[in-house]
Amino acid sequence: MSVTSLSPSFPAPVPASEAPEKLAVWPTSARPTAEGDVTVAGVSLTEAADRFGTPLYVLDEGEVRDRCRAYRTAFPEADVVHAAKAFLCRAMARWVEDEGLGLDVCSVGELGLAMTAGFPAERIVLHGNAKSPEDLYTAVRLGVGRIVLDSSSEIARLAEIVPVSDRQQVMIRVVPGIAASGHTKIRTGTEDQKFGLSITDGSAQHAIARVLAQPRLELVGLHCHIGSQISSVKPYVAAVRRMVGLLTQIRDQHGLELPQLDIGGGHGIAYRPGEDRLDIVALAHRVQAELNDGCAHAKLPVPRLTIEPGRALVGPAGVAVYRVLTVEQTSRRTFVAVDGGMSDNPRPALYGVRYAPRLIGRGSAADPALVTVVGRHCEAGDILAEDVPLPGDVRPGDLIAVPAAGAYHLSMASGYGLVGRPPVIAVRDGSARMLVRRESLDDMNRRDIGL
């Protein structure tokens, strides 16, 4: 779709010196205006809502690209791959390719979409804890660069799929036994959960021996992922230390020095002002230092690193925009209901994630009041933001914008209530274009073929 300018001129922004304090977790291009609006990359969110409707996902293309470049600068000798599960569309795949990153996919759907965008298969990593035969077959057929084996059952299954004359590069996903995330539902590096193969009980070592016995599989490295929304460097350093220990064990037992080490992603961002976020420059320095020192001590060649940021690339670049439908006061709370909810953002219900919504589109002199922003679905848990300050005169028809909404919104959106998933627009240099259109009633009706 062609680029569309939403407005030839925009209201004068508030002086830029005020923006960092008021819009701390927004895209860096975001600017409040004197009239109460917010612009992102020069595009008025109010005008975007009027043109494209609500709910609406707005994505700052320049911010996504800048974040890709920041990772390439921090990790110049590593493979940086975007975790597609955070957000993927054809345009995103193109931006990632343009900026020199690879792509990490978890299904034949994500893989297929990337390929239709022309993404190079050799720069794609496939992993996931329960890959279907179709996932594996398609990955081999399309020539995916690396496949991460997450369970022992995948070893023989994949070996049967690879043609006799070929070899598929694989990695073993290892459980390093590190608890890094705050919420139990996003911890993936600990024992007794569904991901990976344990070092402690010997499952990882057994899987390594089995892979080495398969002539159609080429073991090129180890993989670990310790969790999500991690804001400290220390767990990654600890994971590298344990992975170097296993690399040393493989060298001693099998005479093989693996050339690659993937330490996953999970890099935390701030959803509200004042929250911690992961310092990727510090991460790069500490991880590489630990890897270099550990390998020198073990007399191992230093493997090439792979990292898998997803949320950290796209999360801060996105804003969700809603329209207020009702405002209801009870004896203890004020509920502000919007035209979206858990069908376009289930994360508060799943993990208790907290956001910092903002009234946009008009100014208000009213004192702030604590309200609970809720969705339109018939669930008591359909809460987007609990006990957050909004102007006391918020009313139906107002617009509410939620920053840090670029990751795990569209990718986790559902068909609950048949309200249709929101569209995604990209904004850049004062113009907007549609990336993903709104899911229509016709789209949903075409799937229902039971009559």
**Catalytic residue positions?**
378
d(CA 253, CA 208) in angstroms, rounded, equals: 11
CA 59 to chain centre: 13
Which tokens sit at 325? 């439908």
Q: How does DSSP classify residue 250?
A: H
Which tokens sit at 434? 């549609």
Q: Is the peptide bond before 301 cis (omega within 30 degrees of 0)?
A: no
**What are φ and ψ of residue 385, in 5° steps?**
-160, 120
At 219, which helix (H) or strand (E)?
strand 217-223
User: Nearest 5°: CA angle at 101, between 346 and 234?
Assistant: 65
Instruction: Spell out the residues 6+ positions from residue 285 whose beta carbon is closer than 8 angstroms to its own.
Output: none
Which residues are bridge partners to 60 per DSSP? 427
Instruction: Spell out the residues 6+ positions from residue 385 whose beta carbon is closer than 8 angstroms to its own.
Output: 348, 354, 355, 356, 357, 372, 373, 402
Q: Is 339 exposed, middle or buried (0-12, 13-18, 19+ CB in 10 A)?
A: middle
d(CA 63, CA 55) in angstroms, rounded, equals: 21
Instruction: Spell out the residues 6+ positions from residue 279 whose beta carbon is closer than 8 angstroms to its own.
Output: 233
CA 217 to chain centre: 29
Scan for tokens 């986790």, then name that residue. 412
Question: Quick one: how many helices (H) and strands (E) in the chain?
Answer: 13, 22
d(CA 316, CA 345) in angstroms, rounded, equals: 15
Instruction: Spell out the residues 6+ positions from residue 76 whose beta carbon is closer than 8 angstroms to its own.
Output: none
Tell me the HSE value of 162 on the side-chain side, using a 13 A CA sphere. Answer: 22
3-state secondary structure of 98: helix
Scan for tokens 């020199």, then name that residue. 100
d(CA 104, CA 86) in angstroms, rounded, equals: 10
Q: Which of 84, 140, 152 is nearest to 117 (CA)?
A: 84
Which tokens sit at 160? 């049967």
